[in-house]
Amino acid sequence: MGYDENYYLAGQYQMLADYYKYKDPQRHVYFYNMHYQHLQQWVKSIQAAPKRNANDSDSSRIRVLHASPGMMAVDVHVNNNPVWKDLRYTNSSSYVDIKPLNNKIEIYHNGQKLLEGTLQANIGNSYTVAIAGTMENLVLIPVEDDSSVPQSESKLRFWHLSPDAPSVDFAVKKGDVVFSDIPYSGISDYLGITPMTVDLEIRVAGTKDIALPLNRVSLKPDVAYTIVAVGLVKNDPPLEAVFLVP
């Protein structure tokens, strides 16, 4: 599919997405995703080389999300340096610069090391590392972040970090599934979407059983969202959603 055809189809899908924006949110999401995919293909076809983000540099970036239910506040060391102190459950840190390649991450409480791991970072990339699992089975789960968003648009993805929950679907309320069958520790791809306020829900995968409603989710322009399911299904703290930006 060539330059002109991708450009033409992106425009057609944008018009369909606009038409269904208030009439049928599920069709709007579908057609906007098709618009976004063809727009991305068109942009790639006219670029001689991948475009670097304004934040790209010779270093990389990392932030940490405390997603371990029931675990106390922790201190985080990166490459033997104390970087964050008293990071509490459901809280995320700010980004800090790190070196490319291997970076040692250590999690402490009251001076006692609870966990350590290594992040292999690529030059110019940003990462979120989740402290996940229960106290008996702590793990570090890294994902790569991408803050780039087409002008005046939004995008989102879903990250499953509830250790006792089954695989889930991420869906429009009473509507279509947006991301299907996401297992524990799994994360979806980003989905481009027109900025809007929308009712969403997390369901047990393959069913209509609602694990967590997400009402009146406001998706603002020029923002990349990661919606994270944390907490426990069968115990406290209960299942809830954390919103990371970008």
Global confidence as pTM: 0.78
Q: Are 87 and 66 in contact (CB under 8 A)?
A: yes
Burial 224-234 (b: 16+ CB within 10 A, else e): bbbbbbbbbee
Query: Which among 154, 147, 149, 146 is positioned nearest to 17, based on CA atoms?
Result: 154
pLDDT at 54: 41
The mean per-residue pLDDT over the stretch 222-228 comes to 96
* Range scoring the smallest mean pLDDT among 18-32, 50-64, 113-127: 50-64
Over pLDDT 70: what percentage of the chain?
89
pLDDT at 161: 98
What confidence tier does 167 reach under pLDDT thresholds 50, 70, 90? very high
Give the residue carrying structure tokens 């369909």.
16
As a whole number of angstroms, the distance between CA 180 and CA 42 comes to 27
- β strands within 45-138, DSSP E: 60-66, 74-78, 81-87, 96-98, 101-109, 112-121, 126-132
* Range scoring the smallest mean pLDDT among 49-58, 77-86, 166-175: 49-58
Q: Are 200 and 217 in contact (CB under 8 A)?
A: yes
Higher pLDDT, 65 or 4: 65
pLDDT at 26: 78
Query: Which among 107, 226, 246, 86 is positioned nearest to 170, based on CA atoms?
Result: 226
Pair of tokens at residue 151: 């002008």
pLDDT at 9 over 80: no
Neighbours of 55 (CB within 10 A): 12
The mean per-residue pLDDT over the stretch 166-181 comes to 96
Within its chain, how far is the Cα of 202 from the centroid?
Answer: 15
Over pLDDT 90: what percentage of the chain?
72
pLDDT at 20 over 80: no
Q: Are 32 and 194 in contact (CB under 8 A)?
A: yes
Give the residue carrying structure tokens 């695989």.
167
As a whole number of angstroms, the distance between CA 105 and CA 77 comes to 6
Convert the pLDDT of each residue in 39-48 to its tens digit.
Answer: 777 666 655 4
Neighbours of 129 (CB within 10 A): 22
The mean per-residue pLDDT over the stretch 85-105 comes to 94
Convert the pLDDT of each residue in 138-158 to its tens digit.
Answer: 999 999 999 999 889 999 999
> What residues contact residue 217 under an 8 Å CB cut-off, 6+ apart?
197, 198, 199, 200, 227
pLDDT at 2: 40
The mean per-residue pLDDT over the stretch 207-218 comes to 96
**Residues 156, 97, 157: CA angle, nearest 5 degrees:** 10
What length does the chain have? Answer: 246
The mean per-residue pLDDT over the stretch 61-77 comes to 96
Q: Are 197 and 219 in contact (CB under 8 A)?
A: yes
pLDDT at 3: 41
Give the residue carrying structure tokens 């409603």.
213
Instruction: Calculate the average pLDDT of the chain.
Output: 88
pLDDT at 4: 52
